[in-house]
Amino acid sequence: MAQIKPDIIYKYFKNLNSEQTVQFEKLFELYSFWNAQINVISRKDIEELYERHILHSLGIAKFCSFKKGEKVLDVGTGGGFPGIPLAILFPETQFHLVDSIGKKIKVVTEVAQALGLKNVKASHSRAEQITDKYNFVVSRAVTRLGDFYPWVRGKFAKENLNAIQNGILYLKGGDLTEEIKESKLKAELYPLSDYFEEEFFDTKYVVYVPQ
């Protein structure tokens, strides 16, 4: 398979340093290798890795820049999305990636190690078992918001370090009106099409639930 380049990342994130550039470039080779052994993303999707998985994950960064010293929990991370791309972008923020499926966490651990990411911790665990406190919880459409919220309620640090209040940053697509209403949460929707022009993002959102 031809090497796929992360040009789409550079299009939207122009201030990457040389280390970040190398790390983003390595992602295709790393995920191609691990995906062939442990299926963490759809096989037919691997050539769309940079747009549909990495840039999608970085949609959170267009809405919120994580700060030095903040702690972020990625629930149901799968093979490391959105946590790994965000950890590359924000090296001074601590990321804790959790998934209840052990082989997916193996991929996360191996990828983080190969990239030399010192700010990533990976746990084979359910979100409910995590006892630490975080500034933000991120996730990529693991379940409906109303089901997701009880897993992470009470996991937020009291102190806010960011321009926005601590809370959930959830990547989700489609018509979310009913789901938000059903969850009874004060959720704010930010369309990714405001940041990225590719058609894939037309129906995708960052859902922000402040604590």
Over the chain (211 residues), the average pLDDT of each successive run of 10 is: 84 97 97 92 89 98 98 97 98 98 97 98 96 97 94 96 97 96 97 98 98 94
Distances (CA, A) of 188 to 45, 90, 142, 167: 29, 23, 18, 11
Predicted local confidence at residue 181, as pLDDT: 97
* Token code pair at residue 38: 């442990």
- pTM of the model as a whole: 0.97
* Token code pair at residue 106: 């193996």
Predicted local confidence at residue 2, as pLDDT: 57
3-state secondary structure of 123: strand
* Token code pair at residue 45: 């999707």
Rounded Cα distance between 136 and 70, Å, is 8
Predicted local confidence at residue 141, as pLDDT: 85
Predicted local confidence at residue 192, as pLDDT: 98
Instruction: State which H helix or E strand residue 33 sits in.
Output: helix 18-37
* Token code pair at residue 27: 């992602």
Distances (CA, A) of 99 to 3, 14, 25, 37, 123: 29, 31, 25, 18, 7
